[in-house]
Amino acid sequence: MKVFITRKLPDVAEQLLVKHGIVVDVYEKDRPIPRRELLRRSKDADGIVSLLTEKVDKQFIDNLKHCKVIANYAVGYDNIDVDYAKSKGIFVTNTPDILTDSTADLTVALILACARHIVRSDEFVRKGKYVGWKPKLFLGTELKDKVVGIIGAGRIGTEVAKRLKAFGTKIIYFNNSQNNKIEKYVSAERVTLNKLLKKSDIISVHLPLSSLTYHILNKNNLKFLKQNVILVNTSRGEVIEEDTLVKMLKQRKIFVAGFDVYENEPKINKELFALDNVVLLPHIGSATFEARFRMAELAAKNVIAVLSGKKPITPIY
């Protein structure tokens, strides 16, 4: 059996696979594998560990000779044509739950960074501009008593709500499905998306990317935002019409926006660099030692399960 891992991951993935007698091929460079090389090296694999930077589309899937499982090293799987993989009898798995806390922590950090100008303040000090205490230096906003709108109340949205509740906020949320798990943990009101946009002082986006959520926030509804809202997105960039958001940021219709993800990742709209009311992160929601170790471990375990004739642990379908 052979498994192709499309990027170097925490060692545990390779170690587990090798322990199970599996031959492992790993793309050795720390950057996305060129497409031709990806197709060449994955062709004869029985299992693949993929990253969100690889397009697992029809061409990729048709190129596989006898692959039984594609284990995505991410909770999101919008990079994979899941229906097509399914039609070819290939299992697709992801890494849910184990990165929830890391992503929720990062989201709260991003909200606080936006609310209190943490990044600009740091830059200010480093540039030697701090010459003494000033009554109006980097005035921010408290979280207490603010209305927080959670868009997408799944695992991560729920954990963010739990954390923000401790700051004395009021939580409202929008969720397409009837999954009201969030209300088990915090008192929260389910509202329509438009109502959430109109009422929230702080908005945090936690949506998986799909045809239903693509540009779910766009010029037709972003116009409802309160003046001085804080908006952060740690899910997928494509759920927000980025051009509209940039325009609003330039017009100061938004207090501060925090991005961990971008519409055309890794390309970033250059206009964002010129704005001082944005905090820009390089898609690091799950980037903790703990989460990345567990993600590597779970991806490998999913592959091992399928290649041993068992059901995967966290299948997508």
Q: Is residue 35 among the annotated active site residues?
A: no
The distance of closest approach from Cβ of residue 48 to ligand DGY in the complex, given in angstroms and rounded to an integer, is 17
In the complex with ligand DGY, which residue's Cβ is closer, 68 or 236? 236
* Tokens (6 digits) for 61: 């899937």
Q: What is the secondary structure of 240-300 as a DSSP string? A: B-HHHHHHHHHTT-EEEEEESS-TTTT---GGGGG-SSEEE--S-TT-SHHHHHHHHHHHH
Residues 92-121 that bind ligand DGY (CB under 6 A): 99
| Burial of 10 from C-beta contacts in 10 A (0-12 / 13-18 / 19+) | middle
Catalytic residue among 116, 120, 215, 283: 283
Q: What's the closest the beta carbon of residue 90 comes to ligand DGY, in angstroms?
A: 20
Contact letters for ligand DGY, residues 278-297 (x by CB under 6 A): -------xx-----------
Closest to ligand DGY by CB, 76 or 258: 76
**What CA–CA distances, in Å, run from 202 to 84, 251, 257?**
38, 18, 10
190 is catalytic: no
Footprint of ligand DGY on 29-88 (CB under 6 A): 52, 74-76
Say how far apart CA 51 and CA 306 lie, in whole Å: 19
Nearest residue to 301 (alpha-carbon basis) of 286, 288, 316, 312 = 312
Provide the minimum distance between the beta carbon of 235 and ligand DGY in the complex, in angstroms, as a whole number: 8
CB of 168 to ligand DGY, least distance (A): 29
Q: Which of 117, 236, 292, 294 is catalytic?
A: 236
Place of tokens 């697992």: 56
- Enumerate the active-site residues: 236, 265, 283
Contacts to ligand DGY by CB under 6 A = 52, 74-76, 99, 285-286
